[in-house]
Amino acid sequence: MNSCVWYVWQMSTIELLKPATSLLASYVSALESGWSPDNVRKEAATREQLQAIEANAKAFVDGLDDPSASGGPIFLPDGSTVARLPGIVRWIWDSEFSGVIGLRWQHGTAGLPPYVPGHIGFSAVPWKRGNGYAAQALRLMLNEARKIGLPYVELTTDPDNVGSQRVIASCNGVLIGRFRKTAAFGCAESFRYRIGLDDSAGP
């Protein structure tokens, strides 16, 4: 007699937490395991963050989340500096650090300066990918963008970053064009997606 066993798969849930020193150990562990919050500068950015944490952990954490743009200028990959935009950073959390997502904007407009590729950027740690965390995090961050009053957000991906493209598409993102990044980012080709926020019910 044959028997069937049914398995019910349930997506793990996450929350978005504001960076805090009480959570920092898990973030440091991810950095030391080879993850980088910067997909352009990668290892260099990881080293810089570990050094900053060692020098002053509280200042590092406080500087990650800056909705009033009170911090100093931002250093671009080519070493040039630009004005900081208002922005918030949230850590993707499932009982430990699982990734990061950030939102940037300009007051009074949905537009962004040329040196800012998109409103939202995200990165899940490699060992947590495939759990739907990035899509959940993006949906939650879209609610934050609505609170600010943005009519839409734009996100960019590299042409070969199929995983991120799928995440954006799952949140109703629409490809609106291809473009070349500015010289500071190496003039690489990129895709630009837009997610409308007029529907208050969310994607």
Q: Based on the structure, what is the number of domains in the chain?
A: 1
Q: Do the domain assignments include residue 147?
A: yes
Domain residue limits at 21: 15-196
Cβ neighbors of 120 (< 8 A, separation 6 or more) are: 101, 102, 103, 104, 138, 141, 142, 145, 153, 155
Nearest to 101 by CA among 54, 60, 133: 133
Q: Do the domain assignments include residue 9?
A: no
Q: Do the domain assignments include residue 59?
A: yes
Q: Do the domain assignments include residue 145?
A: yes
How many helical (H) and strand (E) elements, i.e. helices and strands, does the chain have?
5, 9
Contact 118, 190 (CB under 8 A): no
Model pLDDT, residue 5? 42
Q: Specify the CATH number for the domain of residue 35.
A: 3.40.630.30
Please give the structure tokens belonging to residue 112: 């962004």
pTM, 2 dp: 0.87
Q: Where residue 82 falls among pLDDT bands split at 50, 70, 90? A: confident
Beta strands in the chain (DSSP E): 15-17, 74-75, 81-82, 87-93, 97-104, 120-124, 152-157, 174-180, 189-196
Q: Do the domain assignments include residue 85?
A: yes
Q: Do the domain assignments include residue 3?
A: no
Q: Do the domain assignments include residue 109?
A: yes
Q: Do the domain assignments include residue 203?
A: no
Q: For residue range 88-119, what is the model confidence (pLDDT) as tens digits?
A: 999 999 999 999 999 999 999 999 998 888 99
Contact 87, 103 (CB under 8 A): yes
Q: Identify the weakest region by mean pLDDT among 8-12, 28-32, 180-184.
A: 8-12
Cβ neighbors of 60 (< 8 A, separation 6 or more) are: 49, 52, 53
CA distances from 131 to 95, 98, 113 (A): 14, 10, 33
